[in-house]
A = this chain, B = another copy of it.
Amino acid sequence: VSDNLGNKISTKGRYTRSDEVQSYLDATEKGDFRSLAKLLTWIERNGPEKSLSYKQLAAPPQVTFRVGITGPPGAGKSTLIGELIQQLRGRGLKVGVLAVDPSSPFSKGAILGDRIRYSEHFNDDGVFIRSVGTRGSLGGLSASSYLMLRAFDCAKFDIVLIETVGVGQTELEIINVADFVSVVLVPESGDSIQAMKAGLTEIADLFIVNKSDRPGAEGLKNELRATLELGENRKPVEIVSTIATQKNGIDELCEALLKAQKSFEPKSRLLPDRLKSEAKALLRWVVEDQIEAQLATIQDSASFVQKVTEFSRVISK
């Protein structure tokens, strides 16, 4: 006897691996963060095929409003998120955070240094924080984060924050997972121009001008306003000023996010375009892993032809 994952099920009812995953899911729905943590690790290791065989991950019974927070390195995103967590907790909200760290091309692991900045919340049982590396993915955002955020949905948070580092074009992928995109900028020369070039002004729902006591803050806001007016945006885009290190402007930022949450349509998650981009990210993940594994054994022209031909045939079926 085996279940849909191919795991053998003991007829004596002993717990098998797949039962264990189901027990994590059940406990996650009851708010158990330790189970959520175990579930996320399992998802990262097992990938889309196995993960989506669980009803709750394939079609989450509820969805939580996801706020993307992106911007260039050094814009103060981590400090800002730390303060934001405190504000949201003060209002009695349960907060989930997924921090997507750019992987080092060498270690292939996540850069966790920044995370220390909001470690003060690690002992708060209303806050759950998880880091995930990008695994050198082409799209920037790790494909596993799509699945992990489905698990976050199961945990019934009031709000989920997704932190990504804006490097090149990769930050644009945030729009595929977040329901609302906030872009953090600082008044340094050229910051707004970089944002425009990178296409951030087209995906942003909100701009946060952090370190707004520095010279150039007004200039940056004016530039942003001018760009937004030119862009014929599909929606109004707010600009909020903050000084995260002084807890300045966090209240206003929090209000803006909660206002956006009220008009969030859970159905938007199920729009074909969004499902398609999620599917694309998941399949690329599986494929890249498989390609790496298959090609490792190429030694000469004959094995090259054999591998490419075989794999092409498999894929094209």
Does A279 sit within 8 A of B, measured CB to CB?
yes
Contact with B along A293-304 (1 / 0, CB 8 A): 011101111111
A149 to chain B, nearest CB (A): 14
Of the stretches A44-52, A111-119, A203-211, the one at the interface is A44-52
Given contacts A279-B298, A290-B315, A314-B315, 20 further A-B contacts (CB under 8 A): A49-B308, A58-B305, A59-B301, A138-B138, A270-B301, A276-B295, A276-B296, A276-B298, A279-B295, A279-B304, A279-B308, A282-B312, A283-B287, A283-B294, A283-B308, A283-B312, A283-B315, A287-B315, A290-B316, A314-B317
Which residues from chain B contact A280 at a C-beta distance below 8 Å?
A: 291, 295
**A312 to B278 Cα, complex, angstroms:** 14
Contact with B along A44-86 (1 / 0, CB 8 A): 0001110011000011000000000000000000000000000
> In the complex, how many residues of chain A place their beta carbon closer than 8 angstroms to a beta carbon of chain B?
44
A284: nearest residue on chain B (CB-CB)?
B291
User: Considering the complex of A and B, which 8 residue pairs feature the smallest CB-CB distances, nearest first?
Assistant: A49-B312, A275-B304, A58-B305, A59-B301, A286-B312, A287-B287, A52-B305, A276-B295
* A52 with B309, Cβ < 8 A, contacts A280-B295, A287-B287, A291-B284 known: yes
Does A168 sit within 8 A of B, measured CB to CB?
yes
Does A13 sit within 8 A of B, measured CB to CB?
no
Q: Most chain-B CB neighbours within 10 Å: which of A138, A270, A304, A314?
A: A304
Interchain residue pairs with CB less than 8 A apart (21): A48-B308, A49-B308, A52-B308, A53-B309, A270-B301, A275-B298, A275-B301, A275-B304, A276-B295, A279-B298, A283-B287, A283-B291, A283-B295, A283-B312, A284-B287, A284-B291, A286-B311, A286-B312, A286-B316, A290-B315, A314-B317
**Interface SS, A side:** helix
Does A14 sit within 8 A of B, measured CB to CB?
no
A130 to chain B, nearest CB (A): 22
Which residues from chain B contact A294 at a C-beta distance below 8 Å?
A: 283
**A307 to B281 Cα, complex, angstroms:** 13
Q: Decide if B276 touches A312 in the complex (CB within 8 Å).
A: no
